[in-house]
Amino acid sequence: MVRRMTPLLLLALASPLLAQTPPPLRAGLATTIINPPTPAWLVGFAARSHPATTISLDLKAKALYLEQSPSRRALILTADLLGFTERITNTLAQRALSKHGLARHQLFFFASHTHSGPAVLDRLTLTVADSPAFHAEAEAYTASLIDKLDRLITQALAKPKPVTLSSGWSSAPFAFNRRTEQLAAIRPGESLPAPVDHRVPVLRLSRPNGQPLATLFGYACHSTVLTGDTYEINGDYPGYAQQAIEEALPGSTAFFVLLAAGDQRATPRGTLLLAQQHGRTLARAVLDASLSPLPPTLTTAIENIRLPFASHTREAYLAEANSSDVFAARRGKAMLAAIDDRRLPLNTPYPIQALRLGTLTLLALPGEVVVDYALTLRDKYGPNLITAAYASHLPGYIPSLRLQREGGYEAGDAMMYFLQPGWFTDEVEPLVLSAIQRLLARLP
C-alpha cells in the first residue's frame, strides 16, 4: 500500500532545506550632484591662492541600499569630497535612524578624497582662505549637503529590487608609493620599503535577468592627478572611472571606494588629460575583471575605538602660533585656545565597520590609511577582505608603526592641516589591528 504524504509532513521534510536557503537580496540606488556654488575655494592643496569658477566634471554623491530582511540592511553612501566629517555623518546617522530605522553599524560613508572639491565643516577647510565670508560659505554648503544626502538616502530606500551578487579582482598599474620621493630628501642614502597595492576589487549587483544594476569598485591611489594649480571643480580620476563604467554598462550605476591610499599617488599626473586617462585605465580594469557568484547574505558590524595623540606642550603651540607658515600658525592658535578652554583633544573617535556580503568582506576605516594596513590584513585574513579607507570621517593620516619610525609627512607632520594636536602615539597600529580582529570575529 502506498501512503500519501500530508502537506504538513512535506513541509517538515523540506524545512531543513528551506532553512539553508537565505532570503533574496534587494537593492535600491540614487544619485545626485553636489557641486558647490561658484566661485568656490577648493580644499586639499595648501598652495591654491584663489577660488575656482568653473566645473569640468560634476561632483556626485551616490547611495546604494541593500536589504535582505528587516534586521539585515546596509546603506553605502559615496561622495566626491575630500572627506566626510563627524558633523555630516553623525547628523545623517541620526536622521537615518529616526526616519528609516537604520542603525549606525548599517551606514557606510566613503569619500573619494578629490582635492578639487569644496570645504566642509567641521575641520576640512584646508585652504589659505580664513575669512568670515569663507566660513559662512562653508557653513551654507555643509548644511545644504547634509540635506541633499538625507534626501538621497530616502530615495535609495524607496523601491529596492531583487539582485544577485558577483565579485572578482583586477589590477591597475598607475599608483606608486609617494614616500620614495620625500624619504630620499629627509633620509638620503637609506633603502626603505615602498609597498604598493595595485589590486582592483569589483562587486557587481545584477538584476534577475543578468543585466548590471550597480558596480562597486576600489583602488589605492590618492585622488590628486589634478594638482594644486588646478582651479576647476572635478572628481579627479575616480569620477572619470565611474563615468566610463556607466557609459559601458548603460542603465547601471558605478560606486567608487578609495582603498588604503594614504601613501599612494598616481604617476604621471598634473593634467586633466591624465586624470581622464587614469580613469579610463581603472574603468577598463573593472570591466575586464572575471566575476564569480556570491551568496546573497548580508551582515554588518561596528567597533568603536579611540586613537591617542602624543602629548605636546603649550610652548610648542605658542611657537607654532608665531610661525610664518599660515597652517602651522592656524593650528598653534587653535590648540592654544583649546588648552585655555580645557578642551584640548587627547584622542579621536575611530569607528571601524565591516560589511560582509557572501564570502566578501568590505572593511571601512576612517582617515588616510597607509597601504601597510591593507597588505598586513590581506596576509592575515585572505584575499576576500577589501580594506577601504576615507570612511566615516577624516581625522588625518593613519600611519603604520613602520611609517611613524621613518618619519615624514604621513607619519604625523601632516596633522596640522587637519587641525589635530599632533602625531599619534605608537599605539595606533596595534589598537587598529586588534579592533579589526575583534570586529571580524563577530561576523558569521
Asked if residue 366 lies in contact with residue 239, where contact means CB atoms within 8 angstroms, the answer is no
Helices (H), 249-325: 272-288, 314-321
Residue 60, C-beta contacts closer than 8 angstroms, at least 6 positions apart: 31, 32, 33, 34, 79, 80, 235, 239, 242
Largest CA distance in the chain: 100
Lookup: cell for 362: 568590505
Local structure of residue 341 (DSSP, 8 states):
T
Distance of CA 128 to the CA centre of its chain: 25
Lookup: cell for 402: 613602520
State which amino acid sits at residue 403.
L
Q: Name the β-bridge partners of 201.
A: 169
The reported pLDDT for the residue numbered 11 is 43
Whole-angstrom distance, CA of residue 44 vs CA of residue 58: 17
Coil, strand, or helix at residue 309?
Answer: strand
Place of cell 584575499: 383
Task: Give the torsion through C-alpha atoms of 38, 44, 46, 49, to 10 deg.
Answer: -10
Coil, strand, or helix at residue 215?
Answer: strand
The reported pLDDT for the residue numbered 183 is 84
Closest CA to 245 of 269, 221, 279: 279
Whole-angstrom distance, CA of residue 149 vs CA of residue 297: 26
Whole-angstrom distance, CA of residue 134 vs CA of residue 121: 11
Closest CA to 355 of 243, 233, 444: 444
Lookup: cell for 436: 579589526
pLDDT in tens, the chain (444 residues): 444 555 444 444 444 544 467 788 999 999 999 999 999 999 988 888 999 999 999 999 999 999 999 999 999 999 999 999 999 999 999 999 999 999 999 999 999 999 999 999 887 677 777 788 888 998 999 999 999 999 999 999 999 999 999 999 999 999 999 998 888 888 888 888 899 999 999 999 999 999 999 999 999 999 999 999 999 999 999 999 999 999 999 999 999 999 999 999 999 999 999 999 999 999 999 999 999 999 999 999 999 999 999 988 889 999 989 999 888 998 899 889 989 988 888 999 999 999 999 999 999 999 999 999 999 999 999 999 999 999 999 999 999 999 999 999 999 899 888 889 889 999 999 999 999 999 999 998
Local structure of residue 383 (DSSP, 8 states):
T
Convert the pLDDT of each residue in 371-402 to its tens digit.
Answer: 999 999 999 999 999 999 999 999 999 999 99
The reported pLDDT for the residue numbered 187 is 84
Whole-angstrom distance, CA of residue 40 vs CA of residue 434: 41
State which amino acid sits at residue 120.
V
Coil, strand, or helix at residue 198?
Answer: coil
Whole-angstrom distance, CA of residue 150 vs CA of residue 137: 20
The reported pLDDT for the residue numbered 206 is 98
Whole-angstrom distance, CA of residue 62 vs CA of residue 254: 9
Convert the pLDDT of each residue in 276-291 to its tens digit.
Answer: 999 999 999 999 999 9
Give counts: helices (H), strands (E), the chain.
Answer: 11, 21
Give the burial class of 322: count Cβ atoms within 10 A of its Cβ; 0-12 exposed, 13-18 middle, 19 or more buried.
exposed
The reported pLDDT for the residue numbered 20 is 63
Whole-angstrom distance, CA of residue 65 vs CA of residue 67: 7
What stretch of H or E contains 253?
Answer: strand 253-258
The reported pLDDT for the residue numbered 343 is 86
